[in-house]
Amino acid sequence: MKLVTKSLVVATIVVCGHLSACTTVDLTQVAVNQPLAPSEKIEQNVVERASLSLTSMFHAKGWCKSDPAKKTKTATNVLLNGVGTQHHVTGSQMSAPVTLTQVITDMTAANYQVKQTTKAAEIYLVVADDSTKLDNELSQLEAALLSSREAQAGFVKTVNAFPDKNHISLNKLKEISKSIDNLKAVTDAYGERIRTQIAAQVTSAGS
């Protein structure tokens, strides 16, 4: 009887040992495959993605030479003074394309990207709650605007270098100029929204 009891104890220990080992493996796998909690995920909204896409694309294409990361500045100056009409644009070293057709194609692509960024910013500003913080969006829009201005300066210089420039290339310059003006307008609107929020907070704190 004692032998039977000892055998059962040994068997129980062995089985438990196997279960413990299996359990350890399963828990490790669960820990590895378990998705991050929402608070651990850092996601960009549509405005930040569109703006970053623009600056990255313009830099990759050589339409502007400045590092996109350096274009993202704080919104402090904008909060105080708004976005000025004129921006300091570093001299673009855009390589002249082989043909005028190529620069027209580039301007078309750049114009589309500017318009998409503007549209995303306009929609987000409408649907965002009045209390929504927009500092990151404003900084990214500023970077996109500066990249667009730099690219525009490069396009103007490049088109003017062609002796056979035509009405199509000149119209493309006008189109991208208009699109950049619209991007500036929505960037100004973000700055105004933030200034309004700050004013409301000051009023609330003083009452």
pLDDT at 68: 55
Domain ranges of the chain: 2-34, 46-206
What tokens were used for 1? 């009887």
- Would you tell me how many other CB atoms lie within 10 Å of the CB of residue 65? 14
- pLDDT of 102 > 90? The answer is yes
Q: Using DSSP, state whether 190 is helix, strand or coil.
A: helix
Q: Two tokens at 191?
A: 């700055």
pLDDT at 60: 95
Output 153 or 21, whichever has higher pLDDT. Answer: 153
Write down the pTM of the prediction: 0.69
Examine the pLDDT at 9 and tell me if it is beyond 70. Answer: no
pLDDT above 90 (res 37):
no
| Range with the poorest average pLDDT among 10-14, 128-132, 170-174 | 10-14
Higher pLDDT, 40 or 43: 43
pLDDT, position 206: 72
Query: pLDDT band for position 32 (50/70/90)?
Result: very low
Q: Which has the higher per-residue pLDDT, 97 or 145?
A: 145
> For residue 30, what pLDDT is reported?
36
C-alpha 186/C-alpha 51 separation (Å) is: 12
At 44 the pLDDT is 78
Cβ neighbours for 65, distance < 8 A, ≥ 6 positions apart: 59, 90, 92, 93, 94, 150
Q: What is the pLDDT of residues 175-187, one digit of tens each?
A: 999 999 999 999 9
Model confidence at 166: pLDDT above 50: yes
In tens, the pLDDT along 52-87 reads 999 999 999 999 986 655 555 543 344 445 555 444
Percentage of residues in the chain having pLDDT higher than 90: 56
